[in-house]
Structures are given as C-alpha cells and as structure tokens.
Amino acid sequence: MTSVQQAEWFQDDATQIIIHMFQNADTAAFFVGGCVRNSLMNVEVTDVDMSTPVRPESVMALAQAAQLKVIPTGLEHGTVTVIANGQPFEITTFRHDVTTDGRRAVVAFEGSLEEDARRRDFTMNAIYADLAGYVIDPLDGMNDLLERRVRFIGQASDRIREDYLRILRFFRFHASYGDHAAGLDPDALAACASHLEGLAQLSKERISSEVIKLLSAVDPSTAIGAMEASGVLQAIFPTASGRSLYPYVANEFDIDPMARLAALGGKDMDQSLRLSKKQLNRFKIFRSSIGDGRSLNEISFVEGADIAFCIAALRSAMFEQPLPAQTRAQVLNAAEQVFPIRAKDLMPMFSGTELGGALKTLQRAWLESGFALTKPELLKLLDPKSK
C-alpha cells in the first residue's frame, strides 16, 4: 500500500504533534495537495496542508486544547492555521462550492472526502494521505501523477470558471511537474484559450504569485510557448514574447525569475504585476542593463557576479549572439577585483564633490583598462604634470 510514512515532513515532530491532536480526539483528518504530491514525486515539500470533516471552530478548539497556537486565516472558507513547533499547518474543512464568480467562492462545510476532492483543480492535487501516512486516491490522480500529466478534475472549463487563476496554475504546474516531451493536455489548453477574458478579473498579486512560481521552474520554456500559442501570455503581458526567453534559459547560469521576466521583453511588464521592492529593483537592473553599454567587467564589479551572469545571458539572447565561452571566468574574475584607490588617497588633492568625481573618474579608467591600471598609474592620471 502506497504511503508517505518515510517522508521527512511526515516524520517531523511538528507533523506528529498535529497527527496526535486529531488522533487524541478520535477525529479524522487527511494530508492533501503539495505535501502528498511532492512526496510521491520525490520533490521537496515546502508546506503541509490538511483536510478534515471537522468544522473550523472545532479544529480551533482542538488546537487550543492541545495548547497550540491557532490563527483563523480563512474561516469563511473553512480554513484555520495551526502552529506546531513554529511550523504552520493549514487545515481546511471538507466543503463544496455553493456559488463562484471566478475569483472567490461561497462554500458549504459538508460532504465526503470524494466531494472535497472534486472541488480541487488538478487530479494530482486530489491525492490524500491519512493520519497513518497511507495514500488515498479518490479520483485516480496517481495515474496522472506517475505519467506527469497535469489534468483538470472533471471538465476543464468548469474548474476554470470556478477560479480563473487556474489558467495560470495549469501552465505553472506543467512547468514544474509535467512531462515536457508529452506536451500539455489539449482539452485543458482549449479551455484556457476560451476563457482568456477571465484573467482580467484577477488581482495583480495573484497573477504575480503564479507568474513568479512559473518562471522559477527548472525550464518554463514549454509552458511559456503554450501560453503564447493559446493567447494567455498576451492576455497578461500584451507585448511580451517567448522568442528571447528560450535561448536565455538555454544559456543562463542560474535560475532567476526576474531575469527570465526581463527576457520576455514586453513593455511595462512590471506594471502588470505587483512585485516587491527588491524584485522590482532587480527586474529594472536587468532591463536597463541589456543595452546600456556597460562592460560585463563593470557590471560584475558594481552589481555582483549573479547579476552579471544574468545580463550576459540576456544580451546573448536578445541580440541573438553566442555566449562567449570565457564569460563565466570573466565575470568571476571581475567580481573578485578590488579598486586600488581609496578616498584618503585623494584627500590631499580634492574634497567634497570634487573628491567623489575624481574617484569615479579613476574607477572608470580602471574598469576600461580591464583592471590593469595600478594605483601609481591611476594617481598619475590626476597629476597635471603628467599631461
């Protein structure tokens, strides 16, 4: 019998505390979604979600009786978060949708495990494990999971109309878990293409979360290509194209979702998303550096090797030029350089803004020399007698 008993997250003390909380109350509960799916696919588990027939107020009472912190994170949807050993467990009562509008749903807290499964998005997300760790597969999702086939539960159009974010989730899940060689489910693709207008209902925050996760997959190229062919990419980024993303991914040194976003090349793409300040600054550096004329040496020295690696691959992809074989060595060498001049070296000659200007002038000369100019040679550039 298939189980997740050996999974690290299942054996963790925090998970065992939650298991005992339900067992001590002689109450059923099930692990579901990513923790089960990823365990069966030998993929890292980042969070643990659960479903239970117990109503949310009763789950809160169980947690309080076990002296665990509990947060009513989504009572209207039957969800509470219980904290054990500092780890959050999102626990949701079995439910079915009463009404949906493509963004949010009104739910009723009743039904069976199978009914709970049928309201989920993909078959691979409707696989459960009981408190003993044994897998329960009410909708035959294991076959799809083993084939790495991302397939909607029931009719794809019905699932999409319940929440239009599922369009983006479909492509994101294919990028992360699908069989790229087999391609995407044609029925799901057709349903996504026929409901593009629903994407306009989604908040920038929800779109951003899915897009960044998609662009964080090992290789999002197949998914992005399908998004472009179906019109989904243009629905969220009207002027974007995957043309430069594909060679960028082939040449990139490490995964950076903001660099991949820049590779899509659309105008004002950041305006379509809600990025954090850190993400936005990084995206703007990539976009502005593609054609700003700075040398790779300067970028690596000033911005750091990780950014320089991305920019080298971006320039190669955007300008359709091969990436020089020595790029990695060049970037790492530049990042390790130390500018030989310090402010105190120039204080006898300059002060205030003149001092800052002189430092910039010498640094520019040093960078243009490929770090070859020595301290005496740089100082000599400021000596009027040497001219």
Identify whether 364 is part of a domain: yes
Q: Indicate the residue among 146, 172, 203 that finishes a domain.
A: 146
Residue numbers of the chain with a pLDDT score lower than 70: 96-109, 384-387
- Predicted confidence at residue 100, as pLDDT, reads 62
Q: Indicate the residue among 116, 146, 176 that finishes a domain.
A: 146
Identify whether 275 is part of a domain: no
Across the chain, what does the average pLDDT equal? 93
Identify whether 194 is part of a domain: no
- Predicted confidence at residue 76, as pLDDT, reads 80
Q: Indicate the residue among 121, 146, 171 that finishes a domain.
A: 146
Torsion on CA atoms 242, 210, 165, 234, rounded to nearest 10: -20
- Predicted confidence at residue 96, as pLDDT, reads 65
Q: What is the CATH number of the domain that holds 84?
A: 3.30.460.10
- Predicted confidence at residue 387, as pLDDT, reads 45
Identify whether 379 is part of a domain: yes
Closest CA to 163 of 121, 194, 122: 121
Domain that holds residue 123: 1-146
Identify whether 362 is part of a domain: yes
Identify whether 64 is part of a domain: yes
Identify whether 178 is part of a domain: no
Residue 377 in tokens: 């040679």
Identify whether 38 is part of a domain: yes
Domain count, the chain: 2
- Predicted confidence at residue 75, as pLDDT, reads 81
